[in-house]
Structure 1
Amino acid sequence: MPAFAESGGGGGAEPPLAESYLDLLRRGGGIAAGEGRAAAAVQERELPLIDIGCLLAGGGGDEARRAACADAMARAASEWGFFQVTNHGVGGALLERLRAEQARLFRLPFETKARAGLLNGSYRWGAPTATSLRHLSWSEAFHVPLASISGSACDFGELGSLSDRACRGVNRVMQEVADAMSRVAKAVAVALAGSLLMQGGPHHAAAAAAAAAAAFPAGCDETTCFLRLNRYPACPFAADTFGLVPHTDSDFLTVLWQDQVGGLQLMKDARWVAVKPHPDALIVNIGDLFQAWSNNRYKSVEHKVVANAKAERFSAAYFLCPSYDAPVGTCGEPSPYRTFTFGEYRRKVQEDVKRTGRKIGLPNFLKQQPQ
């Protein structure tokens, strides 16, 4: 039976995605000819694959190896905005536990997910304010502030001990995953920042890394970052439906684990390319704030998830974010961007989406506005 058959008010687990789709279709919000379909045929590509074991504690390796690793990531960040990392220290057994807990969490009744204080009320689904299928995401997620990952962040009401145990289980695994991905995110961010700050060649790598660690990531710690648990149900309207609409990330960088179903696509050389899943790798992508900090040397690239007609997909993303009042800063002057804080950036994105239906992002903060 298709997953969407359980949606709506009948006590099933699925969010009312099919109802949203059909309502938008009735209202004429479909994808018009020439706009491009969500699942249009694209070329599958393998992202650059980089071993980061030498960057992590106990990873070993000399200074030249660490500099070469940072250089490889910097090239990928400039050319792709995305790359894959191996020897990242996030164990396969831990990620399997996460997937199992995600599946159990998302199988809870939709009303429980949407109305209870589940994981600090972080549940999201689809795009309830969408006015077109271009804005509808066939997915559900828990977008959890790391500061709220604790047993007290759950409120199951009358559901009892079974759901309480489920909440404690997913909290424990989320904390372990967040800790592991945080180490990856900070090591990668510092290495990328050091690559920009390095002067005088590889023999100055240690000094550059020390400077980067002091300067970046500014104000990013366990109280400011997020972990997002994603589920993309099988979708009978896959050809016309996004799993996640095209967007760029509004953070410094994102560390993503995905299962082997596939569906992630990114913009490369003005064309969409499909990312081939790698069983042992995590994906890292540059966010808007890092593009600004790097003076556009690193690219925050538009990406999306396409819906799948037959299989559900799970993923988990760690977002490296500063505090709302932290200035984003720059790797060096002159910068094309005026000074702004993460909070100001978030507010402007939300205003633009509410006003125009789309994110404008970094162009709002250019010193010289495009004519």
Structure 2
Amino acid sequence: MSHAKQQLSHFQSLPVIDIGGLFSPNEDERQAVAVQLGDAARNVGFFHIVGHGIDEDLRQALLDQARRFFAQPMETKMRHYIGLSAGNGTTRHRGYVPEGEEMPEKGKRDLKEAFDLAFELPADDPDVVAGIPMLGPNVWPELPGFREQVYAYYQVTYEVGLALMRGFALALGLPEEHFLKDVTKPPSQLRLIHYPFDPEAEDVQGIGAHTDYECFTLLLPTAPGLEVMNGQSEWIDVPYRDDALVINIGDMLEIWTNGEFVATSHRVRKVKEERYSFPLFFACDYATTVTPLPQLVERDGHARYEPLKAGDHLYAQTIHTFAYLQKCLASGEIQLPEGARDTATLGQHARHKGTERA
């Protein structure tokens, strides 16, 4: 029986991992953390990390700037509407996302607003000039300190992501730098998400059940509300910790590991209080072809996934989710990438479709 068949049983809680050892010059200390990362990725797919080194002042500055931005009048926020980043047959996909713009599950509009940014690339970068989607310079509002403080958080958290990528490689018995050759200028997106106060909310959807499209996600939340699905299709609350980031495995690592790591389905529910959430979706480069690692295919006896172009997958799923991209698609201004495909087999939410327990 393969690892993919054994994992994600009826876990009821999330591990907490101190990743400080990943930054140690001592290989044994890095390996000790990697063992914990591997266990969590195989058996739960979701876990807290502490010892990440992201300064509390930096996290607070990010929250303060998000509050300032979202408190502005709608007219001011819409000057940075994410749909304005589309043009010439592509999109940088950066800017303000008003409530209702996203629909990760058909027929269910998300009850949130957001501001999206990503890995900063100059307009004259060859990939930007070539019109590769999801790449380019960011959109920045004219708020004092917003660009400096928000992007400072992005850069520090991105470095934590690189450390985790090394740790995951070690957990799989690979050289530490194995995955980093495919992480040079990735479309790794940071989202500033605001859930408005709604005292009448009862079991209301905030973000619908989904897996994340990238390798993994580093989430800084400000309140409870996140739930994850275990292998028995039960929804488990993720407790809030103000000293931790929440990490979850995404689609690309599920494919790369031939299902040994599973992209864990999650959702946001029961949001009554005003809440902010800051996920950084750690991606590999757009042109990366993600295919199951040969040694894992040999162990399992077959490849459970066809090769997938990472950027095409991310772009296609983004098109399916955002209203402005749906309009561009309908008008013929953009097209679905050739490498796109249905990912209904990814994540346990898809595998248990229709059997979820509240």
TM-score scaled by length of structure 1: 0.70
In structure 2, stretches of 5+ residues that fail to align are: 1-9, 86-93, 124-136, 298-302, 330-340, 347-358
Residue in structure 2 matching 1:298, options 261, 271, 278: 261
Matched, 1:363 2:345: yes
Residue in structure 2 matching 1:192, options 163, 168, 191: 168
Shift of the 243–117 alpha-carbon distance from structure 1 to 2, 3 Å rule, reads: closer
Q: Which amino acid aligns with 1:284?
A: I
Residue in structure 2 matching 1:341, options 294, 303, 309: 309
Deviation at 1:153, TM superposition (A): 4.9
Deviation at 1:193, TM superposition (A): 1.7
Q: Which residue of 2 aligns with 1:171?
A: 147
Shift of the 327–288 alpha-carbon distance from structure 1 to 2, 3 Å rule, reads: same
In structure 1, stretches of 5+ residues that fail to align are: 1-42, 157-163, 199-207, 365-371
Matched residue pairs, number? Answer: 291
Residue in structure 1 matching 2:97, options 124, 127, 144: 124
Residue in structure 2 matching 1:277, options 235, 240, 245: 240
Q: Which residue of 2 aligns with 1:247?
A: 210
1:78-107 Cα deviation digits (max 9, x unpaired): 111111111101011110111111100111
Using the alignment, how far apart are the partners of 1:103 and 1:303 within structure 2?
25
Residue in structure 2 matching 1:91, options 33, 40, 55: 55
Q: Which residue of 2 aligns with 1:182?
A: 158
Contact 2:206 2:268 in 1 (8 A): yes
Deviation at 1:342, TM superposition (A): 1.2
Q: Which residue of 2 aligns with 1:12?
A: none
Matched, 1:100 2:67: no
Q: Which amino acid aligns with 1:287?
A: G
Shift of the 131–253 alpha-carbon distance from structure 1 to 2, 3 Å rule, reads: closer
Q: Which residue of 2 aligns with 1:53?
A: 20
Q: Which amino acid aligns with 1:49?
A: V
Shift of the 338–153 alpha-carbon distance from structure 1 to 2, 3 Å rule, reads: closer
SS in 1 for 2:67: helix
1:7-43 Cα deviation digits (max 9, x unpaired): xxxxxxxxxxxxxxxxxxxxxxxxxxxxxxxxxxxx9
Shift of the 248–101 alpha-carbon distance from structure 1 to 2, 3 Å rule, reads: same
1:331-354 Cα deviation digits (max 9, x unpaired): 225332222211332354357667
Mean CA deviation greater in 220-229 or 261-270: 220-229
Identity %: 26
Deviation at 1:223, TM superposition (A): 4.9
Deviation at 1:276, TM superposition (A): 0.5
Q: Which residue of 2 aligns with 1:142?
A: 115
Using the alignment, how far apart are the partners of 1:117 and 1:352 within structure 2?
18
Using the alignment, how far apart are the partners of 1:297 and 1:132 within structure 2?
26
Q: Which has the larger radius of gyration?
A: 1
SS in 1 for 2:305: coil
1:193-247 Cα deviation digits (max 9, x unpaired): 2211x2xxxxxxxxx4xx240x204432355311111111112452252111111
Deviation at 1:187, TM superposition (A): 0.8
Using the alignment, how far apart are the partners of 1:330 and 1:322 within structure 2?
15
Q: Which amino acid aligns with 2:268?
A: V
SS in 1 for 2:214: coil
Using the alignment, how far apart are the partners of 2:288 and 2:103 within structure 1?
31
Residue in structure 2 matching 1:262, options 224, 238, 244: 224
Shift of the 155–361 alpha-carbon distance from structure 1 to 2, 3 Å rule, reads: same
Using the alignment, how far apart are the partners of 1:85 and 1:301 within structure 2?
16
Using the alignment, how far apart are the partners of 1:129 and 1:143 within structure 2?
13
Using the alignment, how far apart are the partners of 1:68 and 1:272 within structure 2?
30
Shift of the 341–132 alpha-carbon distance from structure 1 to 2, 3 Å rule, reads: closer
Deviation at 1:133, TM superposition (A): 9.0
Deviation at 1:135, TM superposition (A): 1.5
SS in 2 for 1:147: coil
TM-score scaled by length of structure 2: 0.72
Shift of the 289–153 alpha-carbon distance from structure 1 to 2, 3 Å rule, reads: closer
Shift of the 143–44 alpha-carbon distance from structure 1 to 2, 3 Å rule, reads: farther
Contact 2:249 2:264 in 1 (8 A): yes
SS in 2 for 1:345: helix
Using the alignment, how far apart are the partners of 1:132 and 1:341 within structure 2?
23
Q: Which amino acid aligns with 1:172?
A: E
Contact 1:232 1:314 in 2 (8 A): yes
Shift of the 236–44 alpha-carbon distance from structure 1 to 2, 3 Å rule, reads: farther
Matching of residues 230-241 of structure 1 within 5 Å: 230-241=193-204
Using the alignment, how far apart are the partners of 1:238 and 1:137 within structure 2?
13
Shift of the 344–51 alpha-carbon distance from structure 1 to 2, 3 Å rule, reads: same
Mean CA deviation greater in 333-342 or 122-131: 122-131
Shift of the 250–188 alpha-carbon distance from structure 1 to 2, 3 Å rule, reads: same
